[in-house]
Amino acid sequence: MSANPSTPAAILDIRIDAIDVPAGRRRLDPAWVETLADLFSSQGQLSPIELIAIGDRYRLVFGGHRLAAAKQLGWAQVGAIVKSPEDFASEAEIKLAEITENLARRELSVLDRAVDIASWREIYEATQVVRKAGRPKKEVDSDEISTKFVLNFSEAAQKTFKLSRQSVFNALKVASIVEEVRDRIALHPIADNQSELLALAGELPGRQVNIAELLTTEPAQASTVTGAIAYLDRVPEPAKPTAWQKLSETFSRMKERDQDRFFELHEAAIQRWLKGRQS
């Protein structure tokens, strides 16, 4: 089947050696590539990648893991939807196509999702009028920008992409982890643990590098960010909070009506405890 960019909705067979992958793409997960390769072997490629035709070559928009799986199987061609540069208004629109595809895929880690949300917000900031009268753009409150960014999405989109205002703020903090460190921990278990990532983001860049080394260099000197920090500071690692301590912390932050509801749901246990206290 020959490529004809004038019919972008068609799935075309494109030579893999004619596809270029732009620099700066998120790191591929070998396990996911292996999984897709197994699926391709038994089921074929069910979902096409997306490309932009540029001369006699093609630029990848999204589908990096699928492309890698096809390469691993030794395929000469891969199924793709081919678009022309004119189908995109700008480079930002191409990036948004990649981001929205990534966010909708199950294999995206917390770290990958955070970086994509941060990139999306940066594009929004660059393309929307968010400044207040008389204030230069650089002084616009980040809270204001993030709030407008979230409100730009429908309720369904917010639910699908988990784009609450707090989730955007958390994503921005996680995405602030230096790129060298993000790449190093991309396949480590903490890449899918938001609390660990937030703890890492709270450290200075130099410390982030040291923590990442402790987590990823074999044999690993630590399995958690907290453990790595304790190792660097030469102090005992803090004991993990018990289940009741976690619950107590959550309960203390509840509004009174929610606390009352909690009491109602656990009235039998509370009565048992009170009876024990009186005996």
Burial 128-166 (b: 16+ CB within 10 A, else e): eebbeeeeeeeeeeeeebbebbbeeeeeeebeebebeee
Cα separation, 7 vs 30, in Å, equals 33
- Position 154 scores a pLDDT of 61
- For residue range 160-218, what is the model confidence (pLDDT) as tens digits? 566 788 888 898 999 999 999 999 999 899 999 999 999 999 999 999 999 999 999 98
Amino acid at 117: I
Higher pLDDT, 90 or 244: 244
What are 88's two structure tokens?
């995109």
pTM of the predicted model as reported, rounded to 2 decimal places: 0.57
pLDDT greater than 60 at residue 8: no
Section 251-256 average pLDDT: 84
Strands 57-62 and 19-20: parallel
- Quote the CA–CA distance of 64 and 58 in Å, as a whole number: 13
**Cis peptide bond prior to 219, omega within 30° of 0:** yes
First to last CA, the chain: 84
- Cα separation of 173 and 199, whole Å? 10
For the cut 50, the answer to whether the pLDDT of residue 120 exceeds it is yes
- The reported pLDDT for the residue numbered 276 is 86
Scanning the structure block, which residue is given the tokens 């730009």? Answer: 152
Structural domains in the chain? 11-87 (3.90.1530.10), 91-176 (no CATH), 177-240 (no CATH), 243-278 (no CATH)
pLDDT tens, residue by residue, 15-64: 999 999 988 777 888 877 887 888 898 888 988 998 999 999 999 988 88
Element (DSSP H or E) covering residue 80: strand 77-83
Q: What is the pLDDT, as a whole number, of residue 163?
A: 73
